[in-house]
Chains A and B, each alone.
Chain A
Amino acid sequence: MTDLLTILSFICLLLGSLCNLLAGIGLFRFPDFYSRMHATGITDSLGTGFILVGLMLQSGWDTSLTKLILILVFILLTGPTITYSLANAAKQHGLTAKLTEEAAEKSGGEASSNH
């Protein structure tokens, strides 16, 4: 039973680390503010959830389990709030997105003409 829990927690930690790395790469490689926010906002909560669930599987029935659940609930509540308010402030400031549909069609047309 404990072996199964350890293996499950290792899998969860591995997936969480992978999601965190994806968030970091997306934060660094995307060309636009809104697409960067997309990369971090999605993979951030998923990576946090996976890592905290992996730690929960290692902790057992203890007070640390309660603290981990509190951290997870709080991060899952505040992450979307911060993402929304940041996008709202950027939109009110007048920040435009580079990756619109016209830009995608234009770059697609250029790519097809190159081939």
Chain B
Amino acid sequence: MLLASVLAIFIIMFLALLRAFLGPGLYDRILAVNLFGTKTVLFIAVLGFISGHGYFLDIALLYALLNFVSIVGVLRFVEYQQQSQSKATEKEEL
């Protein structure tokens, strides 16, 4: 059953990568990458239970933290870029 869940997680990771590759916009790509990161956490946790090593859960916890910080960082970057671009266009119009 653990192997079946690993297989399901593999399939959805592939689908998320495909959506991140095809995605029509920037936000679709960020959504797909976020889903990929969450599934990576699950994958590492299940892999730790298959292999019997306890320290895999520490790596999974670290991946969860890293995923959250990276997604929020990319979103802040995109928002600041948009604000600076709109300010620049306002100055050009004035």
Question: Which residues of B in the span 35-54 have a Cβ within 8 Å of any Cβ on A?
Answer: 35, 38-39, 41-42, 45-46, 49, 54
Determine whether the beta carbon of B75 is less than 8 Å from that of A17: no
Q: Complex: how many Å from CA A85 to CA B73? A: 11
The residue in A14, A18, A47 that gathers the most chain B C-beta atoms within 10 A of its C-beta is A47
Determine whether the beta carbon of B28 is less than 8 Å from that of A48: no
Q: Complex: how many Å from CA A89 to CA B77? A: 11
Min CB distance A13 to B, Å, is 5
Determine whether the beta carbon of B65 is less than 8 Å from that of A74: yes
Contacts of A71 in B (CB 8 A): 41, 45, 57, 60-61, 64
Contacts of A81 in B (CB 8 A): 68, 72
Kindly state the interface size class of chain B when it binds its partner.
Answer: 35 or more
User: Does B88 reach chain A (CB closer than 8 Å)?
Assistant: no
Determine whether the beta carbon of A23 is less than 8 Å from that of B12: yes
Given contacts A23-B35, A36-B31, 11 further A-B contacts (CB under 8 A): A20-B39, A24-B12, A27-B16, A33-B25, A47-B42, A48-B41, A74-B61, A82-B72, A86-B31, A86-B71, A86-B75
**Chain A residues at the B interface, C-beta cutoff of 8 Å:** 9-10, 13-14, 16-18, 20-21, 23-25, 27-28, 33, 36-37, 40, 44, 47-48, 51-52, 54-55, 58-59, 62-64, 67-68, 70-71, 74-75, 78-79, 81-82, 85-86, 89-90, 92-93, 95
